[in-house]
Structure 1
Amino acid sequence: MNISVVIPLLNEDESLGELYDWIAKVMQAHQFSYEIIFIDDGSTDNSWQVIENLSKKDSAVKGIRFQKNYGKSQALNAGFKITKGDVVITMDADLQDSPDEIPELYELITKNNLDLVSGWKKKRYDSKIRKNIPSKLFNAAARKTSGLKLHDFNCGLKAYKSIVIKSVDVYGEMHRYIPVLAKNEGFTKIDEKVVQHQARKYGTTKFGIDRFVNGFLDLITIWFLSKFAKRPMHLFGLLGSFMFFIGLCFALYLGIDKMFFNTSGRLLTERPQFYAAIVAMIIGTQLFLAGFLGELILRSKRNDERYKISEVV
């Protein structure tokens, strides 16, 4: 099979029929063999009924329905597990992503031998204050942290080699960082393509300030996991040792000053440096122990996959 199209959705019943017709028209015009996988992430409208009707009408349409709303990452993960296409395309269900982009995305993956192509909505039709400005700040931070020079990490329209989506584990709110997750798994042939962005035709946006805040928190998480997941002592041990050393220096200073220079008889507990030394040494010890416990946990998980083999001859 050439292409699997994975579409997570939440309350998009008005757009699903039109989106299906558009995708099917593009696929048939280019003679692709394809499947369309809709993942209903706990919709409360008629989205699932629409998906059921489309599945009865066309065997290429498959559907997964969640018991409740679990989030886009979980929806993508469920869809990725059942894909059969050589190339996997993800897009949103709100008609803001254009299926006309699919043939070129497919060619970039197959002919240019890329692992992943991320869409870039260079011209957007969203609210500047509510979405555009936060997205620019988020993307700038993601570029700086990950080292990937992508302009639009959060674009739903992406193309992948099948092996990429079978190798990455998308969880929590990590769907924004699939390119970073792919890079961490050794898939470095990553590029982007300017794609057409369309104004929302039906319904309302699901974007809120909580997604913006969560995005930055997830960015910190993925940075830490990519750098120190296999060696937590390198971070916590270093920080702990540094803090303990600072506290020890304060303690030595206070001890020497008390023994040789303190003629006024001032008590150590009356000096702020005493408390700074105690706090620094306690924090340093705790950080060091956190790194040590992290190393013990890693050692105990011996059955977990620690590496991936690309080829064997």
Structure 2
Amino acid sequence: MKISVVVPIYNEADNLNQLFDELQAVLKNHEHEIITVNDGSRDNTRSVLNEAASKNKNIKVIHFHGNFGQTAAIFCGIHHSSGDVIVPIDSDLENDPNDIFKMLEKINEGYDVVSGWRKGRWNDQKLRRKLPSMLANKLISKITRVKLNDYGCTLKAYRRSVIKDASLYGEMHRFIPAYASWRGAKVSEVEVDFRPRRKGKSNYGMSRIFKVLLDLVVVKFLDKYMTRPMHFFGGAGFLVFSLGVATGLLTIVLKILGLRDFVDTPLPILCALLVMVGVQLIAMGVLAEMLMRVYFESQNKKPYQIAEKINFE
């Protein structure tokens, strides 16, 4: 069984050599390839990758022309992989390569998708950082009907057969387990180690949770009825919709307190208008996302541009 490890990279030059050493130690007795995708890094990532590839033919390198996002990098790595099992892993050393063994054991038990669960990730974090992630995972599990505790964990293992035809845009890589489950795949979850970042700084902020929830709307829509436009239209739509709801609540409060009657204020009309506009903007976002998907797939285009490939035959 050949293993393809896919490593999306953005400004992680200081962590790469240690990551390669750990991956080689774990995979040395397995047929494998390490596919690294440089997502337009601005640090020394390119030269570090090129040097590593020159010393080890199992390390394959793809350089993007610019920054296209983590999902595009993972999608590209999957597209260029040749293994029976594909394992995406973060390049910041927060994922422990030794946990790949746990995932392979589950794959050998008959599962098609194995997702990592960083159970102790938030133990020492403040509630304002812990709560949004917990709520997002519960909401995603509820909507997709695929219960996972940590959709955001990059470390996962997939049988090639369940993702070979997947098309990924926006932040949708985290929804692959749900996508696969809807199509009959067996999904499992294992606890994995979470290691604090030692070098560099995180390239992902709390705003990512908001974008993920917008992509969740699209994923659910695609599941029920059949790259990033949704982030613009959806963001504006949620904002306007929220203002409409807030206006409606204010109107009710004023009525209860006897300060204003419904006929004495334009707030009810404003509330209805904002809610309708918000819903329309979200709907436009879904339609734009559909058109983007049709555009890419009908012309066989990819949501990234490759500048250079190394060690690919």
Gap change, CA 1:104 and 1:140, over 3 Å in 2: same
| Residues 164 and 187 in structure 1, CA contact (< 8 A), matched pair in contact too | no
Distance 2:49 2:40 in 1: 13
Q: TM-score, normalised by structure 1?
A: 0.71
Residue number in structure 1 paired with 2:117: 120
Contact 2:114 2:187 in 1 (8 A): yes
**Aligned-partner SS, 2:164:** helix
CA distance in 1, matches of 2:153, 2:115: 7
Matches within 5 A, 1:166-205: 166-184=164-182, 186-205=183-202
Give the superposed CA RMSD. Answer: 2.8
Does residue 10 in structure 1 map to residue 7 in structure 2?
A: no
Please report how far the alpha carbon of residue 172 of structure 1 lies from its aligned counterpart in structure 2 after TM superposition: 1.5
SS at match of 1:167: coil
1:67 is the counterpart of 2:65:
yes
Could you say what secondary structure the match of 1:106 adopts?
A: helix
Aligned residues: 242
- Which residues of structure 2 form unaligned runs of 5+? 227-262, 264-268, 299-313
Asked whether 1:152 is paired with 2:150, we answer yes
The letter of the residue matching 1:161 is R
Q: One-letter code of the match for 1:170?
A: L
**1:267 is matched with which residue?**
none
- SS at 2:24 equivalent: helix
User: How many angstroms apart in 1 are the aligned matches of 2:111 and 2:4?
Assistant: 17
Per-residue Cα deviation, 1:260-313 (whole angstroms, up to 9, x for no partner): xxxxxxxxxx9xxxxx9xx99xx8xxx9xx9xxx9xx99xx9xx89xxxxxxxx
Q: 1:145 to 1:3 in 2, by over 3 A?
A: same
Matches of 1:35 and 1:88, distance apart in 2: 10
CA deviations 1:41-86 (Å, max 9, x no partner) are 1100011111111111000000111111100110011000111111
CA contact (8 A) 2:162 2:185 kept: no
2:214 to 214, 217, 220: 217
Where structure 1 has 5 or more consecutive residues not aligned to the other structure, the ranges are 230-269, 271-275, 306-313
Match of 1:43 in 2: 41
Q: Which amino acid aligns with 1:147?
A: R
130-139 or 41-50, which moves further after superposition? Answer: 130-139
Q: 1:86 aligns with which of 84, 87, 93?
A: 84
Q: Which residue of 1 aligns with 2:246?
A: none
| Alpha-carbon distance change, 130 to 46 in structure 1, aligned in 2, over 3 angstroms | farther
Alpha-carbon separation, structure 2, partners of 1:130 and 1:42? 31
Distance in 1, matches of 2:22 and 2:10, equals 19
Alignment partners' CA distance in 2, 1:128 and 1:139: 17
Paired residue for 2:55?
Answer: 57
Equivalent position SS for 2:190: strand
Deviations 1:130-155 (A, max 9, x none): 64322111101001101111100110
Report deviation, 1:183.
2.1
Larger Rg: 1
Q: Distance in 2 between matches of 1:12 and 1:181?
A: 29
| C-alpha distance in 1 between matches for 2:24 and 2:153 | 22
Partner of 1:38: helix, strand, or coil?
A: strand
Structure 1 stretch 204-213 or stretch 70-79: which is displaced more?
204-213
